[in-house]
Amino acid sequence: MASKSTIRSEHDPLPFGTNPLFLEHCFSPAITIAAGPVNKAYIKTFGCQMNEQDSAQMLSLLSQAGYEKTVDPFDAGLVLLNTCSIREKAVHKLYSDLGRLRPLKDEDPDLVIAVAGCVAEQEKAKLQQRFPYLDLVFGPDHIRHLPQMLSEVKEERRKGQEGEAKAKRVLRTGFEKRQDFEFVNVLPKEEETPAKAFVNIQKGCDNICSFCIVPFVRGREVSRPHQEIIDEINGLVERGVQEVMLLGQNVNSYGLKNTGDITFAELLQEVADKTKLKRLRFTTSHPKDVKDDLIDQFANNPILLPQFHLPFQSGSDRILKLMRRQYTREQYMHIVNELKRRVPDIRFSTDIIVGFPTETDDDFEQTLTLMKEVGFDSSFSFIYSPRPYTSAVKIEDDVPQKVKAKRLQVLQDLDREICFEKNKAEVGRVEDVLIEDIYEQSENTLKGRTPHNKIVHFDAPGRTIGQIVPVKITKANPYSLFGEFAA
Ligand code: 5AD
Ligand code: SF4
């Protein structure tokens, strides 16, 4: 028989000893979950940083419900796959993982298998039709109800086992009304505090990029009240977090839509003024919403790091129009040049799509020239993938798959060349590096990041994760640097 563990309301006494996560998150109403004596949860995350952060929220809620995290699905009572549907490849990866989970379920009928995230929202009930052993399917808007959903799964099972009724699969998709959406606070356990953390400031997206499924699987844009953000950052800083990455699909439009709250530039200023955070970053930005006040922040905010991820997607105005990106190449270059003028030490990274329907050699050439003109320190490039619900699927795609693959190769070769040149220019500089990881086995035992978000491997006896130390860059690879402790 499974034992019972309980999630209680704010005013209940501590049910799980002194778990700091529980203290921070006890806002759910009283719910009883039949978890094993120490029920273990395994979460696999596909996709972007937003998904990573969603998984962190789920772990946080599960911890309150008495679950322990495990990295071994064979050791878990709950296997949860948090999915990505931005490109078709990610969806195929999920399907193959789900196929591999079947024998686990056959062996242990008590195992709960759940699919969360963007594919859950995209496929809805079809997912459970295709994989009938899925106990729970829920979209990104339903994360905060995870404990309730798990108790429903167990209740349905009980009904099925006791012959009361046929056990139903639990499915929660669709979106909450803007005004009803609530963000989940995430504070790591004190002993697991990382050097840097993500903080959600927004969910969903109101843009209309013709290739992108995000607005359909993550819903309308909702900004998180700024005081909640400041409180979460203060909590993280108290635990030792040095660097925060603010997260949203289009952070530049923070506060403009629903809250009547402060603007994004004002939020950056508040973080500098009202917290003791050392290093601040954000992602991701849409060029159409980058205004002078954000450029001013890069120039004046003492904790905002001089690195800007600004996806351009294509260098051709014709393709940008078909993508419905709402800016031109000239407008994009204006932002870049203005920032280079005001903040000479700034570095850029970007996202690019190649092989968008109708893309010609000339359009692609314009993407290459934009790459060179900006001189990105890193880029993420993808072959266009047609996605359900999006308007680009209606454009006839006359670009052969082979041509798309070739263009991606050419682009990535150019990217490697530019990144290598940029990294070589770092040699000799002394950078403040935030230590993120220790590798006991290797010669350079520490891994950290410069303010420009570049990975550096180095050695500094006695130094550890979470410290910011001066490092002289001594050697460059295309995608990483090596250095010496420079105290
Ligand atoms: N096909 C290929 N790449 C895509 N992206 C978004 N949608 C698609 C798609 N349908 C890329 C964009 C975006 C990044 C997160 O993923 O470059 O900025
Ligand atoms: Fe997708 Fe465009 Fe929204 Fe980014 S801004 S999430 S690319 S619709």
Atom of ligand 1 nearest to the CA of 212: 7
Ligand 2 centre to CA of 204 (Å) is 9
Ligand 1 centre to CA of 353 (Å) is 6
Buried b (16+ CB within 10 A) or exposed e, 234-244: ebbbebebbbb
Report angle CA 340, 341, 345 to the nearest 5 degrees: 50
How confident is the model at residue 439, as a pLDDT? 86
Residue span(s) of the chain under CATH 3.80.30.20 come to 178-424
- If we measure between CA atoms, which residue out of 280, 225, 192, 246 comes closest to residue 49? 246
> Which is it for strands 279-283 and 307-309: parallel, antiparallel or unpaired?
unpaired
How confident is the model at residue 187, as a pLDDT? 78
Ligand 1 centre to CA of 471 (Å) is 35
- If we measure between CA atoms, which residue out of 95, 87, 37 comes closest to residue 66? 37
How confident is the model at residue 1, as a pLDDT? 32
How confident is the model at residue 260, as a pLDDT? 61
Cα atoms found within 13 Å of the Cα of residue 465, Cβ hemisphere only: 14
Ligand 2 centre to CA of 69 (Å) is 32
Quickly count helices (H) and strands (E) in the chain. Answer: 14, 21
Ligand 2 centre to CA of 260 (Å) is 22
Q: Which ligand is nearest to the CA of 309?
A: 1
How confident is the model at residue 461, as a pLDDT? 87
How confident is the model at residue 176, as a pLDDT? 87
What pTM does this model have?
0.90
The CATH superfamily holding the domain 24-172 is: Methylthiotransferase, N-terminal domain (3.40.50.12160)
Residue span(s) of the chain under CATH 2.40.50.140 come to 430-485
How confident is the model at residue 173, as a pLDDT? 96
Q: Does domain 178-424 have CATH number 3.60.110.10?
A: no
From 48, 207, 218, give the residue whose CB has the most ligand 2 atoms within 8 Å, as the site to mutate: 207
Buried b (16+ CB within 10 A) or exposed e, 401-417: eebbeebbeebeebbee
For the structural domain made of 430-485, what CATH number should be given? Answer: 2.40.50.140
Residue 5 beta carbon below 6 angstroms from any ligand 2 atom: no
Residues with a CB atom less than 6 Å from ligand 1: 86-87, 211-212, 311, 313, 351, 353, 382, 384-385, 387
Amino acid at 31: I
Residue 78 beta carbon below 6 angstroms from any ligand 2 atom: no
Q: Tens digit of pLDDT per residue, the chain (487 long)? A: 333 232 222 222 212 222 222 222 222 333 334 444 469 999 999 999 999 999 999 999 999 899 999 999 989 999 999 999 999 988 888 999 999 999 998 889 899 999 999 999 999 999 999 999 999 999 999 999 999 999 999 999 888 888 877 778 899 999 988 888 899 988 777 777 889 999 999 999 999 999 999 999 999 999 999 999 999 999 999 999 999 999 999 999 999 877 668 999 999 999 999 999 999 999 999 999 999 999 999 999 999 999 999 999 999 999 999 999 999 999 999 999 999 999 999 999 999 999 999 999 999 999 999 999 999 999 999 999 999 999 999 999 999 999 999 999 999 999 999 999 999 999 999 999 999 999 877 667 899 999 999 999 999 988 999 999 999 999 999 999 999 999 8
Q: Please name the residue whose Cα sits nearest to atom 1 of ligand 2.
A: 212
Cα atoms found within 13 Å of the Cα of residue 233, Cβ hemisphere only: 28
Residue span(s) of the chain under CATH 3.40.50.12160 come to 24-172
How confident is the model at residue 11, as a pLDDT? 26
Ligand 1 centre to CA of 354 (Å) is 10
Q: Please name the residue whose Cα sits nearest to atom 18 of ligand 1.
A: 351
How confident is the model at residue 38, as a pLDDT? 63
Q: Which ligand is nearest to the CA of 249?
A: 2
Query: Rg (Cα) of the chain, in Å, rounded?
Result: 24
